[in-house]
Amino acid sequence: MRMNKRVLLLLLPGLLFLAAFMLVPITLTIASTFVQDGKLTLEGYLYFFRDGYFNRILLTTLRVSVVTTLVCMVLGYPAAYYISRASARKKSLLLALSIFPLLTSPVVRSFSWMIILGKKGLINSFLVNTGLIAKPLDILYTPTAMMIGLVHLFLPLIIITLLGVMENLDHELVRAARSLGASPFAAFRKITFPLTVPGLIIGGILVFVGSLTAYTTPALLGGKERVVSTFLYQNAMTLNDWQAASVIAVIMIVITFVVVGLMNAWANRLNPKG
């Protein structure tokens, strides 16, 4: 392929910006984690992986992110499918409704969840008052509360991502499958689903990365429960330990890459073309 070389110059401002404000700081951050007292060492990492407290935080974070991602996929997919098949008027209404949560800040939303999930919150008062349970449940300030808050935060994101893919799906393909003898369910399983899996994967990656790095929601709904991002913040801002914060940041980056890689591999298995 030949391309006018001067056109490449158009990329230059963007590349310079990325290099100055992203590549350089990230490289410096990563490099700094391997140096201690002027010597190359893995001590920074070994310290964390030997630490039971950090391992628990890491595990909680992964569990919260994975569950949030799966729940968002399971809830988002049928919703997006329904919206994509709705009539034009209904579609814009449903779309507006599903985007609406994005317009309020995560702080406000987390406070709403605190009102709903707390010891004297809506759910517990209802359950106690109706006599279904004797003592209020501990939901707020648990990983469960984080998951609920994160699902609420990211569901619109995965719906919009999936909608983009589903709108592009040629419905003629489904008709073709039906005319060849496929029941509506078989046509969905063999045509619609494989062709929309890329949307599910991209949406899933967005939700996972978002959950992994989310700060406000886990901080407000998690109480004393820590996740990696709140732990990182604590190390950097409260304890002023930037070395530790950098190590945590690199661990997060690595987890992100591993998960994105795994999900891409999964997408390729389900859809050779995707």
Partner 1 sequence: MSLLSLEHVSVAYDNRLILEDFNLSLQKGQLLSLLGPSGCGKTTTLRLIAGFLNAEAGNFMFSGKDYTKVPVEKRNFGFVFQSYALFPHLSVFDNVAFGLRLRKLKEAEVKKRVNRMLETVSLGGFEKRLPGALSGGQRQRVAIARALVIEPDLLLFDEPLSNLDANLRVNMRVEIRRIQQELGITTVYVSHDQEECFSISDQVAVMNNGKIEQLDHPANIFKYPASEFVARFIGFGNFIAFDGRNDEGADIELSRGELKFQAAKRPGGEGNTGLLGAIRPDDLQLLGAGADMGTGTEGNALTGKVQVSTYLGRSYQYQVETELGVFTVNQEMEQPFIQGQQVTVYFPKEKLVLVQ
Q: How far is the CB of 87 from partner 1 (least distance, A)?
A: 9
What is the DSSP secondary structure assignment for residue 102, as one 8-state letter? G
- Measured CA to CA, the distance from residue 23 to residue 149 in angstroms comes to 32
Q: How far is the CB of 168 from partner 1 (least distance, A)?
A: 11
Residue number, 243 or 271, with CB nearest to partner 1: 271
Residue number, 91 or 178, with CB nearest to partner 1: 178
Q: How far is the CB of 26 from partner 1 (least distance, A)?
A: 36
Q: Using CB under 8 A as the criterion, which residues of the chain lie in contact with partner 1 when the complex forms?
A: 170, 172-173, 175-183, 186, 190-191, 194-195, 271-274
Residue number, 56 or 175, with CB nearest to partner 1: 175
| CB within 8 Å of 139: residues ≥ 6 apart | 117, 121, 123, 124, 145, 148
CB 73 within 8 A of CB 200: yes
Residue number, 62 or 182, with CB nearest to partner 1: 182
CB 258 within 8 A of CB 189: no
CA dihedral in degrees (51, 237, 254, 269; nearest 10)? 110
Q: How far is the CB of 165 from partner 1 (least distance, A)?
A: 13
